Chain A
Amino acid sequence: MERLGKISVWLLLLLCPCLAGAQEPTKAFDAKETVLGHIGDSYEWHIASFGGHDLHVSLPVIVHSPASGWHCFSSEHLREGGEYEGLRVAAEGEHKGKIVERQADGSDLRPLDLSITKTVMGLFINSLLLLVLVLGTARWYKKRKVDSPAPRGFVGLMEILVSSLVDGLIKPCIGENYRRFVPYLLTVFCFILLNNLMGLIPIFPGGANVTGNIAVALVLAFASFLAINLFGSRAYWKEVFWPDVPAWLKVPVPLIPLIEFVGVLTKPFALMIRLFANMMAGHAVILSLTCVIFVTVEMGMAINSSMTVVSVLFSVFMNCLELLVAFLQAYVFTLLSAVFIGLAQEHKAPEKA
């Protein structure tokens, strides 16, 4: 019975390319475009195509242009290169794939774009989910007394997560006054982790490349930047602007302070790039592996079938790896934020040997 199941799965895998090949024989498949399209943002949430018919979720477009004021409409109007209220999605040029407004002189102007795009929608869904999960856990605790039995299931998982993060990461990294940073670091960890995991789910509520978008990573890194520097101690700022080095290194030309100041900026910048690049690369690799199936359609049945098997196996492997990376990146972001905060908190002078 088990063997029969395995065989049927393999047969199904072998048949898939035939079906795919039968359906879109005319259009040449552009792997780069597909991958970049999925990684990037879009004004509608594409779910699937059935033989020329697209299944998608239309999202609201909110645009303010200096010429014509506010526009707010469904992205349905912009599909297939449509133009609505003088706005359209640019197919070419500097703002490719973004909404532009045609000016009187024929040039395109990029208006202020506050549209609820795919990434924003994913962000909202994930934020809501995070709120529900954490506040639900908090509610569970509120409803119970101290002497009730320990939680099981999801609440137990949250408890293990929270207590291991606080005791194993935040407390040792920051030091004595770690308490004020605990809510921020836990929020960041859960936020990144949930967004990463939701990004791995391939269909509608998940699948948006939220943390692999530089704007999201930018905001998170900026938050860590504020947490590091707003609560930095005097010793920390002295170390930045008047470090303990020979005077000629800092008086005529503030060489070391300049380097230190650049260091202050590069820390959150590295946080941002790390999160963004890791998550984006993960999505790109999985999508590329899936694209292998469609790229090899034209190479004949035998190659296509074998490549399909390889692609599925590699995709499964990459998905497992990405599960690890999703956790690891959330952990690393939190860990490094905590370490940097801890460095800025150090008010004792370093012990002289």
Chain B
Amino acid sequence: MDLGVIGAAIGAGLAAIGAGIGIGRIGASAMEAIGRQPEATDKIRTNMIIIAALVEGVALFAVVICFLAL
């Protein structure tokens, strides 16, 4: 198998792990915050989505690099 493909696969996996950890932590904190302050649910949810999108953006950069390596 081509070395580039292996590299791309490993890279995609690492990017997925990173994004998974990041989004998981955001989700956990957001749920906790909502549990503590149910009246602020809307604000927390919006900020959660923004931060999750930022984390995901970094992961997507990694995915793009993987595509380039493929």
A residues lining the B interface (CB < 8 Å): 168-169, 172-173, 270, 273-274, 277-278, 331-332, 335-336, 339
Chain B residues numbered 29-54 whose CB sits less than 8 Å from any CB in chain A = 42, 46, 49-50, 53-54
24 residue pairs A–B, Cβ–Cβ below 8 Å = A168-B42, A169-B46, A172-B46, A270-B54, A270-B57, A270-B60, A270-B61, A273-B60, A273-B61, A273-B64, A274-B53, A274-B56, A274-B57, A277-B60, A277-B63, A277-B64, A278-B60, A331-B49, A332-B53, A335-B46, A335-B49, A335-B50, A335-B53, A336-B53
Binding site for A on B (CB under 8 A): 42, 46, 49-50, 53-54, 56-57, 60-61, 63-64
Pick from B50, B57, B63 the residue with the most CB of A within 10 Å. Answer: B57
Contacts of A339 in B (CB 8 A): 50
Provide the main secondary structure of the chain A interface: helix
Chain A residue at smallest Cβ distance from B54: A270
Task: Report the minimum CB–CB distance from B37 to chain A (whole Å).
Answer: 17
Q: How far is the CB of B67 from chain A (nearest CB, A)?
A: 9
Give the A-B pair count, Cβ closer than 8 A. Answer: 31
Cβ of A332: which chain B residues have Cβ within 8 Å of it?
A: 49, 53
* Residue ID in chain A nearest B61 by CB atoms: A273
CA distance A274 to B53 in the complex (A): 8
The minimal Cβ–Cβ distance linking B41 to chain A, given in whole angstroms, is: 12
A332 to B57, CA, bound (A): 11
A2 to chain B minimum Cβ distance, whole angstroms, is 38
**B-side contacts of A270, CB under 8 Å:** 54, 57, 60-61
User: Residues of B contacting A172 with CB < 8 Å?
Assistant: 46
Which of the listed residues B42, B46, B50, B53 has the most CB atoms from chain A within 10 Å of its own CB?
Answer: B53
A172 → B minimal CB distance (Å): 7
CB distance from B51 to the nearest CB of A (A): 11
Q: How far is the CA of A274 from the CA of B63 in the complex (A)?
A: 10
A332-B49, A335-B50 are known contacts; what are 18 more A-B pairs with Cβ within 8 Å?
A169-B46, A173-B46, A270-B57, A270-B61, A273-B60, A273-B61, A273-B64, A274-B53, A274-B57, A277-B60, A277-B64, A278-B60, A331-B49, A332-B53, A335-B46, A335-B53, A336-B50, A336-B53
